[in-house]
Amino acid sequence: MLAAAQEVTLSVQGMTCASCVSRVEKALRSIAEVDAGSVRVNLASEQARFKLNSATTSDKLIEALSKAGYQAQLLDALHPSSTAKHSNKGWKVIVASLLSAPLVLPMLPMLFGYEWLLNGWIQWALATPVQFWLAADFYKNAWNAVRRFSGNMDLLVAIGTSAAYGLSIYLHLDGETHLYFEASAVIITLVLLGRWLEARAKRKTTEAIQALQALRPDTVRIVRKSVVMDLPIAELRQNDVFMIRPGERIAADGVIIDGNSHVDESMLTGESRSVRKHIDDKVTGGAVNLDGLITVRATAVGAESVLAQIIRMVEDAQSAKPDIQRLVDKVSSVFVPVVVVIALLTLAGWLFVGAGWERAIINAVSVLVIACPCALGLATPAAIMAGTGVAASFGILIKDAQALEQAYRVKAVVFDKTGTLTEGKPVLTSVHVAENDSADKLLQLAFSLEQSSHHPLARAVTEAAIERSIEALPAEELTEIAGQGLHAQVQGRPLWIGNHTLMKSLSLTESALAELMPVSSSQQDSVAWLAAGHPARLLGCMTFADAIKPGSRQAVQQLQTMNIMTVLMTGDNEAAASKVASQLEIDTVLADQTPDSKALALQDLRIHHQPVAMVGDGINDAPALASADVSFAMSTGTDVAMHAADITLMRADPGLVAATIDISRRTYRKIRQNLFWAFIYNLCGIPLAAFGFLNPMIAGGAMALSSVSVVSNALLLRRWRPGR
């Protein structure tokens, strides 16, 4: 039984074109338990994804698709099947080619003026197995479409080849020697060849998913009651202890409790360098343990692991439909009926001008065969699957097609400072005391407030206090003041620690702050101020330095080269923010920002530079990320803020922002190229066939080639590399 609100993925076999996609979607939306708005069917991956409004059985879903003429199978979220694994029908191509070759070979001497024709009955004997055995699926799928008053590519092929086959029988019985058995057989052979090549190409679009799935080991060495045993990975539970030997893949997310080693996380983060891991360090399932024996306590297994979430995110992005695809679907839904009408008009037109039944039928067959909704249906999903797949292999996780669509149009990128452009590991550089207390006393008070905070400056205070063996005092009524600092009661008196904005709200004068903090120092470092009492009086301040990441300057340059404005938005003071912006040559600086004011500032930027992207940590910058048109969450690879942003960068490299925009632009360029050629192919091919300029065999070859060329063009994205 499938639960309500559960997301379901079905493998759907038998889809051949965009019209099939529409039929599958319609069939699923007709089921009461299915959330109609969530249905997404992908021709390239042969999968349907949707959510349930209420509980139901998988049999009911599969039965509904079976009635629509398609075979379906429920996919396990942890072990999804590979794309097109049931499409390995190369043997049909070989057999069809062997039977068709004798029909085509006699045509070669005709090029040199020699007449050589096979006996009509021999032609019939060779063509019949191709028509009714090897092409049986075409008739089956065509009949399923007709029964439901719809059409698909198989219907066009079945009608066209049957007409050529039937015309050949009629002419043979009438004593004619010039027959069209070779046309029907060759068309079917070419369509089978095209679909086989298409299936092979489609499998390559899912290699990123398959590579991620391959990171899951089949077994794990679990330690239970001091006994080490090899068990299937499915039996691993949260808090289980397991051992990883050198060269093995880590079975699940966890924390090292014994041993140390270098770990290769390149398949998850795109980072080529190995990382040294020690006791209490986190490790991610799927990474490779290189050189040491480690013992790990599992913190997340199965569908909750980082690897499972990454796979789920990539699959979601590949199955989602951008706005441009919805337009294509509307065109495809009426495409087949329109082609049938054009073929009938072609037949009638040639009969009207007195060309005779033979010429009229052959030209109508050419119209039916040349039309190819397959290329239209594959143009968008093939490019999206290839683009998001190659991005994932370099640590760029794109949540959905809408994020990809927004990213390629970005006009401005807003960066948070700490942890995004800087290392995010500020160090305490100086302590300035306003009264007679010592620097250690001021640091002790700051430590008392900051010890439970996760802010980067708080961690710097904590590390400095521990290094000097300073103990924290009990802090009561601790309160966080969003975007400004902290307040608490320490030894019976109120204390505040925070930024310049917080001090101004306590009515401390600019002159008092300036007297304590020299201008030259305030321009060099971030500053945290400490005040106490009612009314508040200034106790002192501390300065912090945070190194700029090595790749930040290049990341900003790359964006500017792409004609994208760069903005630094931070809660830090104006002087410190301007210093970083100057070093990185960022276009605009917005300092002294609170979480709420960041959101308002982003809204102002969108007025002049829409769409605007925001790059932050995915948690502290939540209001700003929500206000941006497309948001980026920087991640270390294990603590992944996957639900906080549209795009997650698996390693904290700001250069991946420009890389993401680049791959999104290239992906949409491929989509436009594919759609252009798909439409132009039909717009040119159908009139040529209708006016008798295309032989049915040439039309069949061109039709088969169109789908393969669309997918092959999309696969060129697999050569993309960040920064290239």
Residues 529 and 449: their CA atoms lie apart, in Å, by 12
What count of other Cβ atoms lies within 10 Å of the Cβ of residue 35? 17
- Whether 416 is a known active-site residue: answer yes
For 308-326, give one letter per residue: b (16+ CB within 10 A) or e. Answer: bbbbbbbbbbbbbbbeebe
- Specify the 3-state DSSP secondary structure of 81: coil
Kind and range of the H or E element at 496? Answer: strand 493-498
- Specify the 3-state DSSP secondary structure of 24: helix
- Specify the 3-state DSSP secondary structure of 448: helix
Q: What is the DSSP letter of 86?
A: T
Q: Can you read off the two tokens belonging to residue 193? A: 């060849």
166 and 132 Cβ atoms separated by less than 8 Å: no
Nearest to 638 by CA among 257, 282, 308: 282
Residues 320 and 385: their CA atoms lie apart, in Å, by 10
Catalytic residue chosen out of the listed positions 240, 264, 316, 416: 416
Residues 134 and 139: their CA atoms lie apart, in Å, by 10
Supply φ then ψ for residue 292, to 5 degrees: -140, 155
72 and 11 Cβ atoms separated by less than 8 Å: yes
Residues 654 and 419: their CA atoms lie apart, in Å, by 10
Burial of 281 (0-12, 13-18, 19+ CB in 10 A): middle
Measure CA 385 to chain center.
Answer: 7
Say which amino acid occupies 46.
E
Residues 28 and 46: their CA atoms lie apart, in Å, by 15
Residues 637 and 282: their CA atoms lie apart, in Å, by 10
Task: Identify any residues that bridge with 633 across adjacent strands, giving them in sequence order.
Answer: 616, 648
Work out whether strand 71-74 and strand 7-13 pair parallel, antiparallel, or are unpaired: antiparallel
Task: Identify any residues that bridge with 413 across adjacent strands, giving them in sequence order.
Answer: 566, 613
Nearest to 288 by CA among 275, 302, 306, 301: 275
Alpha helices in 301-438 (DSSP H): 306-319, 323-352, 357-370, 373-393, 401-407
For 51-71, give one letter per residue: b (16+ CB within 10 A) or e. Answer: bbeeebeeeebbebbeebbbe
Residue by residue, DSSP assigns 582-645 as HHHT-SEEE-S--HHHHHHHHHHHHHHH-SEEEEE-SSTTHHHHHHSSEEEEE--SSS--TTT-
Strand order in the sheet with 275-277: 275-277, 261-264, 288-289
Nearest to 207 by CA among 424, 45, 332, 50: 45
Kind and range of the H or E element at 714? Answer: helix 696-715
Kind and range of the H or E element at 64? Answer: helix 58-67
Q: Give the residue numbers annotated as catalytic, written as ranges.
A: 416
